[in-house]
């Protein structure tokens, strides 16, 4: 039995990971440490409170050394899976300082606590954005140089450098996954897929940045979770693993697939002013992860279809978000853009 500290476990991928573990490794003990920022929601973990002997929720900040130490010392955890982050590129363009604080300093606080407690494994949930734009037909393998271009990606790259540095300098047993664009239940509707799906359900326009020909690798969250578990159990300490399906999809195609799935007209697509410094293409070589026996279970169309169905069936989850504080963000980001489209 393992004892995991899952940071950011009330967010999108973290909460899906905790549920995934419940099914796959029911005997493992999980403590979630989450600050519950706007993106973290306790209801994402609803139902888990009942398994008190194997699940615990701590509301706290990864930048708070006392709270973090309290979660890992005295056998509190033997493994840390670190998801907690500010995760939205557009937010990082508007409000970058909190990204450095949480993503870089917060990661270092966790690394220090892991070192002091003699943790068995520190797993960092990284991103393919560290490679920056990748020209076609190239694919980034794990030894590809980092070239992050947004404040978000730069902080994720900086934190990942710290993770490897603690491995090399202090012998901390670290592993890293660098995941592609993930979609599925409980994704905060600021991200393209969840925004497009919920807008489409309401018959609202889908704001596509620029020409919409930017390429992403949209992966179902269960595949991302399975990859992290595979690396935890079979990955080599000190190594990083790319995680993605290998399928390239233009954003405009993703939007059209969403509209088709919901029976909405293609005319809902609106081309709006592009994101500053928008990376044109991400593409990963995932052979290293596949050699651990992992392969994606969801084709692109299936990943979109099940995700669309989840949002259609769980309006009670996303409607209060979209009509609440998120509204101000949406107005600020999209009002002028949509008016000029
Ligand atoms: P998210 O924004 O949905 O969740 C982030 C969680 O971290 C939230 O629950 C939030 O409350 C928590 N958090 C933020 N600051 C915190 C702090 N200071 N202390 C404690 N908790 C804090 O993000 P996500 O999309 O689930 O991403 C999770 C991780 O996966 C991130 O590290 C992200 O960089 C990485 N990642 C995401 C994707 C993707 O497509 N979403 C792809 C690859 C990697
Ligand atoms: O690649 C992994 C990364 O994927 C993760 O590290 C990030 O945490 C996650 O947010 C995601 O980053 P992106 O910037 O790629 O995701 P986002 O959903 O914001 O945008 C996906 C694409 O869609 C991107 O090319 C920008 C575009 N887009 C986004 C929004 C929000 C639009 O065209 N319109 C929009 O309104």
**What pLDDT, on the 0 to 100 scale, is given for residue 265?**
98
**What pLDDT, on the 0 to 100 scale, is given for residue 166?**
98
**What pLDDT, on the 0 to 100 scale, is given for residue 50?**
73
Our answer on whether the CB atom of 251 is closer than 6 Å to any ligand 2 atom is yes
**What pLDDT, on the 0 to 100 scale, is given for residue 282?**
98
Secondary structure (DSSP) of 233-299: HHPPTT-EEEE-----EEHHHHHHHHHHHHT--GGGEEEEPPPTT---B--B--HHHHTTT------
- In angstroms, the CA 65 to CA 69 distance is 6
**What pLDDT, on the 0 to 100 scale, is given for residue 51?**
76
Structure-block tokens of residue 271: 């081309």
> For residue 278, how far is its CA from the centre of ligand 2 (angstroms)?
9
**What pLDDT, on the 0 to 100 scale, is given for residue 175?**
98
Which pLDDT tens digit goes with each residue over 134-148? Answer: 999 999 999 999 999
**What pLDDT, on the 0 to 100 scale, is given for residue 99?**
98
The segments of the chain whose pLDDT lies below 70 read none
Identify the sign of the CA torsion 111, 173, 282, 185: negative
Name the residues annotated as catalytic: 128-129, 152
Ligand closest to Cα of 254 equals: 2
Count the residues in the chain.
341
Furthest CA-CA distance within the chain: 58
* CATH number for region 3-183+218-243: 3.40.50.720
Q: Tell me if residue 110 falls in helix, strand or coil.
A: helix
CB 198 within 8 Å of CB 262? no
Q: To test ligand 1's pocket by mutation, which of 6, 12, 220, 224 has the most ligand atoms within 8 angstroms of CB?
A: 12
CB 297 within 8 Å of CB 238? no
Which pLDDT tens digit goes with each residue over 283-308? Answer: 999 999 999 999 999 999 999 999 99
**What pLDDT, on the 0 to 100 scale, is given for residue 139?**
98
**What pLDDT, on the 0 to 100 scale, is given for residue 1?**
84
> For residue 265, how far is its CA from the centre of ligand 1 (angstroms)?
33
């Amino acid at each position: 039995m393992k004892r995991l500290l899952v940071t950011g476990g009330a967010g999108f991928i973290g909460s899906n990971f905790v549920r995934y573990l419940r099914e796959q490794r029911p005997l493992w003990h999980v403590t979630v440490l989450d600050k519950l920022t706007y993106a973290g929601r306790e209801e994402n973990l609803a139902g888990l409170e009942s398994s008190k002997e194997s699940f615990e929720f701590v509301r706290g900040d990864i930048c708070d050394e006392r709270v973090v130490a309290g979660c890992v010392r005295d056998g509190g955890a033997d493994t840390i899976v670190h998801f907690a982050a500010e995760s939205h590129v557009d937010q990082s363009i508007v409000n970058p300082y909190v990204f450095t604080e949480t993503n870089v300093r917060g990661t270092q606080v966790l690394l220090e606590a892991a070192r002091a407690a003699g943790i068995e494994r520190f797993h960092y949930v990284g991103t393919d954005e560290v490679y920056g734009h990748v020209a076609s037909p190239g694919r980034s393998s794990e030894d590809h140089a980092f070239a992050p271009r947004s404040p978000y990606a730069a902080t994720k790259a900086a934190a990942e450098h710290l993770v490897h540095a603690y491995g090399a300098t202090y012998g901390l047993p670290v592993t890293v996954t660098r995941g592609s664009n993930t979609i599925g239940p409980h994704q905060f509707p600021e991200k393209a897929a969840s925004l497009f799906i919920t807008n489409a359900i309401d018959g609202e326009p889908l704001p596509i940045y620029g020409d919409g020909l930017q390429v992403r690798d949209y992966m179902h969250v269960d595949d991302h979770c399975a990859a992290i578990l595979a690396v935890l159990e079979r990955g080599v300490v000190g190594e990083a693993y790319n995680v993605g399906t290998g399928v390239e999809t233009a954003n405009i195609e993703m939007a059209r697939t969403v509209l088709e799935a919901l029976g909405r007209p293609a005319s809902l697509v609106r081309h709006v002013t592009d994101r500053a410094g928008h990376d044109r293409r991400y593409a990963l070589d995932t052979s290293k992860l596949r050699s651990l026996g992992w392969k994606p279970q969801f084709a692109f169309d299936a990943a979109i279809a099940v995700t669309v169905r989840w949002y259609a069936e769980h309006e009670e989850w996303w409607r209060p978000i979209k009509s609440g504080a998120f509204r101000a963000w949406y107005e600020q980001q999209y009002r002028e853009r949509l008016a000029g489209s």
